[in-house]
A and B are shown apart, each in its own frame.
Chain A
Amino acid sequence: MNILVCVKHVPDTETAVKIGADGKSIQTQDVNFILNPYDEFALEEALKIKEAKGGEVTLITAGPEEAKKSLRTGLAMGADKAMHILCDESHDSLALAFCLAEGIKDESFDLILCGKQAMDEDNAQVPIMLADKLGLPNISAVIKLEIGDGTATAHREFEGGTEVVETSLPAVISAHKGLNEPRYASLKGIMMAKKKEIKDVSCTCAESGLEILDMAYPPSRAGGRIVGEGTDAVPELVKLLREEAKVI
């Protein structure tokens, strides 16, 4: 199996994000960037399939030079090689999907795996748009994946049940938490990653159709309020939790 895994270099979820001076972007200095956690599930699945069936795992990302750090992490986890579409601008999902499709136009893959969404913008659109652009079937947010002979069977979770979907391959499939437990980059993997190829791919990226106008912090939390005392206050508290806070 020749497997492509699309990855993104995103701010660490433990980082406190600060809005930049232009009010439209986040400050990237002093922010630790990591391989998008959902993409780790996709990569782990690709590595497992490769271990079971043989083949090759290729990573691809579109992003600035620093994104090579995440490619290096993926190579250390066990991917065989990587492609890097160098672009500094931040793209909307559609432009990014076109960009990735353009980057792999000379390659062929039996399976394309992605994380279901990137932790930075949370749009969860690129895998679907990429599939559409490539003319391939798409299954989103899978929690279990079985590869057959030219087919894949995927399990998707929704409230109250599981959906089982079968597709022909190649296809674009996105990974959800629970699909597997990603491995740690081993010391040996880290040393081997130094010798693996990261190919720079130049391609003309499509222009973003969306423009970010403004970014703002969420409003700071208001103080609590006491709705009454003793057991008499319980009905009112429950009513407010249900109707106002909408948490129950």
Chain B
Amino acid sequence: MSIPDLYNIESLFSEDELMVRDSVRLFVQDKILPKVKQWNREAVFPKQLIPEIADLGLLGAYLTGYGCPGISYNAYGFAMQELERGDSGFRSFVSVQNGLCMYPINAFGSDEQKEKWLPPMARGKKIGCFGLTEPDFGSDPSGMITTAKKQGSEYILNGTKMWITNGSIADIAIVFAKTDDGVNGFLVEKGTPGFTAPEIQGKLSLRVSVTSELLFDNCRISAENVLPGAKGLKAALMCLNQARFSIAWGVIGAALACFEEALEYAKTRIQFSKPIASFQLVQAKFAQMWTEIVKAQFLCYRLGQLMDQGKATPAAISMAKRNNVHMALNVARTCRDILGAAGIVDDYHVMRHMDNLESVYTYEGTHDIHTLILGQELTGIGAFG
């Protein structure tokens, strides 16, 4: 039985937005769900799916030109929801390629850079990653110590970036570094001498995703690989807004996957001679979770409209990222609880989602940092430092 659409949310979206959702859902059902347990056990990101993800049009989805489909932000949001219904790792892969790589090249790059990189990135032939966070500077990126010293027509990069999604599989890294004129963005191509990207091992979360360090040791970057428009931290934060939007939508998919699995389980698991779904404590959990999921859907629906109109403020995006990831993590934990012991084995999806969401809770701005962004918006007083 499908879950009733109490607020007729479906009618808020256009036919093509719903078609995007349905098409990506089919893809996830056919290509991801049957194998995700194994990939999670082995901690591998299945690179062989990249061409199919590209064929679907998910890479560069909301850009126009360069072979990109130019869908609305809400259609893109639905795509993120359905990918994360499969696994947060796939949503991470796509949202990094889009929001943190193709978006900045499109927004801050020269025409030559766009022509060179965007078409192959849309086809999945070139993969990107985004280097802002450092081992000692996460929530406080302005303290970064990676430097780019100008020498003739070149820049020389030195420093380390950390927790970089797609790092070891990337052909191109968008790297932010301090120059004599402040922070700037650079395009660093795989294979550039002095640049290596070892994968981080031992993750208990986002195992179906590549996470890496980016190491720069006297790495020489030609001037043509400077992103001309990416001046100052503001450029990096504009990218993060794109990625945070996709997270706000995506985690609804993880929450739905957990909710549906737990509901099915509760209706068929018999204790005290009746399904556990017939107990008031269990029903209270479902009622609370569903209310929170629907509220999160409304935040995303409106936020997507604002993104399309260019009116979404960073604080509005923070609110949705903060609320929805917190919601999804709570839903995953509650669903794990409903499944009892069954919830801890990977025959069920709930605990994988729960583990993934622990990362999502603190990446692209931790929950606490988004709280402070909202606090500053409301009081006019920054409480970060």
Using a CB–CB cutoff of 8 Å, the interface residues on chain A facing chain B are 16, 32, 69, 72-73, 76, 183-191, 193-194
Nearest residue (CB) in B for A187 is: B57
14 new A-B contacts at CB < 8 Å, known A16-B1, A184-B26, A190-B23: A72-B19, A76-B19, A183-B55, A185-B23, A186-B56, A187-B56, A187-B57, A187-B58, A187-B69, A187-B75, A188-B69, A189-B57, A190-B69, A191-B16
A187 vs B82: C-alpha distance when bound (angstroms): 14
The answer on a CB contact under 8 Å between B19 and A185 is: yes
The answer on a CB contact under 8 Å between B71 and A187 is: yes
The answer on a CB contact under 8 Å between B55 and A186 is: yes
The answer on a CB contact under 8 Å between A191 and B69 is: yes
How many residue pairs bridge A and B at CB < 8 Å? 50
| Interface status of B127 (Cβ within 8 A of chain A) | no
Kindly list chain B residues whose C-beta atoms are within 8 Å of the C-beta of A184. 23-24, 26-27, 55-56
Distance to closest chain A CB from B192 (angstroms): 32
A18 vs B198: C-alpha distance when bound (angstroms): 56
**Cβ proximity bits B48-61 to A, threshold 8 Å, 1 near / 0 not:** 00000001111001
Nearest residue (CB) in B for A16 is: B1
Known: A76-B23, A184-B27, A187-B75. A194 touches B16 (CB 8 A): yes
Show 7 A/B contacts (Cβ-Cβ < 8 Å), sorted by A: A76-B19, A184-B23, A186-B23, A187-B69, A189-B57, A191-B16, A191-B70
Chain B contact residues: helix, strand, loop or mixed: helix
| Interface status of B325 (Cβ within 8 A of chain A) | no
A193 vs B71: C-alpha distance when bound (angstroms): 12
**Cβ proximity bits B1-35 to A, threshold 8 Å, 1 near / 0 not:** 11000000000000110011001101100000000
A194 vs B27: C-alpha distance when bound (angstroms): 21
Distance to closest chain B CB from A48 (angstroms): 14
Nearest residue (CB) in A for B26 is: A184
Kindly list chain B residues whose C-beta atoms are within 8 Å of the C-beta of A73. 19
Kindly list chain A residues whose C-beta atoms are within 8 Å of the C-beta of B71. 187, 190-191
Kindly list chain A residues whose C-beta atoms are within 8 Å of the C-beta of B15. 69, 72
A73 vs B25: C-alpha distance when bound (angstroms): 14
Distance to closest chain B CB from A72 (angstroms): 7
Kindly list chain B residues whose C-beta atoms are within 8 Å of the C-beta of A69. 15
B1, B2, B26, B61: the one within 8 Å of A187 (CB):
B61
Kindly list chain B residues whose C-beta atoms are within 8 Å of the C-beta of A191. 16, 69-71
| Interface status of B162 (Cβ within 8 A of chain A) | no
| Interface status of B79 (Cβ within 8 A of chain A) | yes
Kindly list chain A residues whose C-beta atoms are within 8 Å of the C-beta of B24. 184
A184 vs B23: C-alpha distance when bound (angstroms): 6
Kindly list chain A residues whose C-beta atoms are within 8 Å of the C-beta of B57. 186-189
A16 vs B71: C-alpha distance when bound (angstroms): 33
A186 vs B75: C-alpha distance when bound (angstroms): 12
The answer on a CB contact under 8 Å between A186 and B69 is: yes
**Cβ proximity bits B252-291 to A, threshold 8 Å, 1 near / 0 not:** 0000000000000000000000000000000000000000
A183 vs B57: C-alpha distance when bound (angstroms): 12
Kindly list chain B residues whose C-beta atoms are within 8 Å of the C-beta of A16. 1
A16 vs B2: C-alpha distance when bound (angstroms): 10
Kindly list chain A residues whose C-beta atoms are within 8 Å of the C-beta of B69. 186-188, 190-191
Nearest residue (CB) in B for A183 is: B55
* CB-CB nearest 5 A-B residue pairs: A187-B57, A188-B69, A187-B69, A186-B57, A185-B23
The answer on a CB contact under 8 Å between A187 and B20 is: yes
A183 vs B31: C-alpha distance when bound (angstroms): 12
Kindly list chain A residues whose C-beta atoms are within 8 Å of the C-beta of B56. 184, 186-187
Nearest residue (CB) in A for B62 is: A187
A185 vs B79: C-alpha distance when bound (angstroms): 13
The answer on a CB contact under 8 Å between B16 and A190 is: yes
A32 vs B71: C-alpha distance when bound (angstroms): 24
A72 vs B15: C-alpha distance when bound (angstroms): 9
Nearest residue (CB) in B for A73 is: B19
